[in-house]
Structure 1
Amino acid sequence: MTGYGISQVHDDLYSYGVEARSVNHKYCDVRVKMPREINGLEPPVETVVRDRIARGRVDLYIECRALPQTETKIDTDLSLARGYYDAFEKVRKELGFEEAVSLGSILEQPGIVKLSDPDLDLDGLEQILVSGVHGALDALIAMREQEGQGLEQEITRLLSLAENDVERLSKLAKNVAADKKDKLSLRVQELLGDIELDEGRIAQEIALLADKSDITEEISRLKIHLDHFRKMLVQDESVGRRLDFLTQEMNREVNTAGSKIGDANAIQVVVNLKSLIEKVREQVQNVE
């Protein structure tokens, strides 16, 4: 399920921006990007996300900016500067240049002058940063819940259509079973002609053959799965993976019924029912 949220928190020296984004994913996949100076806080931040998000890929971006009143430290590496000077002086003499080595040419070399903000107190920062993550997740979850209401309506609509098809299939199956017995009886009589055989045994064999096309059990399990699906859909907890499993089970029952029944009208209903269940399965991928 998709979602987006941002928040801003700060302490006396720094401001911290938190941005959270989520997209569909079968499991909970959390990815955190933050400045190197505070990456020691990644584990507690990730724990906060996993405690509140059960399913989906969540990308969390954290930026850190010094406030205007924060004093910037200026450090110089005199040892490195001396090394540059000696090297430049050696080159100047070897190549016969008269111009002296300037201070500017030394200071512009990397590592000579370093600007740094005050050291971050990670122990004190954790609580502040966690509150910022919660703020971003509040907005993200609110957006996901709004999307979830629309998903619930669409899935409920598809379930109603599937339940209607199951009822149609159930009625067709009863007629198919009776017709198959009649056709088998007529076919046996045509084959036997005047030959006399045990009518009880023949009737038993015909019944066994007809039972192979009986889908009563599949219909019963489909109704149970659909009822269970509806009940789980309104539960106030993470049910996405369980609903995904139920759609797989419903699809398996429909495939079995289709392979057994062997009637053109019933097969048409089976095809439509498979299409509806696949649409439900696609929507379930968005459910946490």
Structure 2
Amino acid sequence: MIKSMTGYGIANLESEKHIINVEVKTLNSKFLDLSLRSPRQFTDKELEIRNIVSAYLERGKVNLSIEFVSKSNNDLPVHIDEELFVAYYEKYRSMASKVGIDSIDLFKMAAQSPNVTTAITEKTSNTEDWDLVKQVIEDALVHCNEFREDEGEVLMSKFKENLEILRGSLAKVKSEEPLRKQRIKDRITNNFSDWLEENSFDANRFEQELIYYFEKLDITEEIVRLGTHLDYFDKIMNSDKSQGKKLGFISQEIGREINTIGSKANDAGIQRHVIVMKDELEKIKEQALNIL
């Protein structure tokens, strides 16, 4: 069963102390390309998060966002030195009274003075917090995988339609092939019959040249190989594991056979079916880029 690389998953958890929200968005990519946004206290867990994502999603362009909110008002992102603030305020007030100036802005001046507020740049997570966050991350990834599976079912339905059209066009090419050969024979007979009667020639050599000519125009092998590739595509598409890269390779081989049939056939009737097959194959190739 195929799986899309387009996905979306969200999960959340609220405990007595924290509110945790995790959101995952994925798009197609040849490799796992993770863009992570997480709180500062989990920066030391980035490698572990990448390993978790890789285990669930395998590959794709992944945007993962972690929101961790504490219900406690004590967890401020800055440290405020209250004693230093009071010292600044008293000093500014004393200076203002000496020069007879209003003290309206003294609070703001004291709060903005050096070393009163200091950003907390280093804070590590505890085991309990990380276990909760890890659980929510995995829940979001599970939901994202379910989304990918649903999208894969839609893609599979489209692929089945494309394959049906390809097989129908291939069947028409097979039915046209005997008629094409007959048209070639009639054309050669009409063009050369008069010339052959008026000129001496080596009949054996002429026969050999005709055989060589027909072999160059024969598309029997291409028709057989194209049918085999279509069957193989269908088999891989219905296998247990999604194999987007393999489907992409098979699509390339299908394209080669279609192009060869078109160039070797040199026939307007067959060329119409070739155009239809090329159009359907382009749809397959475009969608195959989004398969895991």
TM norm. shorter chain > 0.5: yes
The answer to whether the 8 A contact 1:19-1:60 is kept is yes
1:76 and 1:207, CA in 2 relative to 1: closer, same or farther beyond 3 A? same
What displacement does 1:9 show?
Answer: 3.7
Residue 288 (structure 2) pairs with residue 287 (structure 1): no
Match of 2:54 in 1: 50
TM-score (normalised: structure 2): 0.83
Following superposition of structure 1 onto structure 2, how do residues 81-160 of structure 1 map, counting pairs within 5 Å? 97-99=99-101, 104-109=107-112, 111-114=115-118, 119-160=123-164
Query: How far does residue 274 in structure 1 lie from its aligned partner after superposition?
Result: 0.6
CA shift, 1:175, in A, is 2.5
Counterpart residue number, 1:168: 172
CA deviation string 1:99-132 (max 9, x = no partner): 4988624432065135869954355544332221
2:84 matched to 1:76? no
Amino acid paired to 1:108: A
**Does the residue aligned with 1:212 lie in a helix, a strand or coil?**
helix
Which range moved further: 261-270 or 193-202?
A: 193-202
Tell me the CA shift for residue 169 of structure 1: 0.9
- Paired AA for residue 81 in structure 2: T
2:191 aligns to what SS in structure 1? Answer: helix
What's the offset of the Cα at 1:153?
A: 1.4
Higher RCO (CA 8 Å, separation ≥ 6 residues): 2
Point out the more displaced range, 258-267 or 51-60: 51-60
Is 1:203 aligned with 2:210?
no
Which has the higher mean CA deviation after the structures are superposed, 36-45 or 197-206?
36-45
Q: How far apart, CA to CA, are the structure 2 residues paired with 1:97 and 1:213?
A: 105
Q: Which residue of 2 aligns with 1:5?
A: 9
The 8 Å contact of residues 41 and 125 in structure 2, kept in 1 or not, is answered as no
CA spacing shift, 1:117–1:124, aligned 2, 3 Å: farther
Q: Kindly state the Cα deviation for residue 136 of structure 1 after the two structures are TM-superposed.
A: 0.3
Amino acid at match of 1:265: G
- How far the C-alpha of 1:84 sits from its partner, in A, is 9.9
Structure-2 change in CA distance of 1:106 and 1:194 (3 Å): closer
Q: CA distance change for structure 1 residues 30 and 45 in 2, over 3 Å: closer, same or farther? A: same
The answer to whether 1:67 aligns with 2:68 is no
Q: Are 2:221 and 1:217 aligned?
A: yes
Deviations 1:30-65 (A, max 9, x none): 211112332221221122112211343221111111
With structure 1 as the length reference, what TM-score do the two structures score?
A: 0.84
Q: What percentage of residue pairs aligned between the two structures are identical? A: 27
- 1:21 positional shift: 1.2
Q: 1:279 to 1:232 in 2, by over 3 A?
A: same
Structure 1 residue identity aligned to 2:210: I
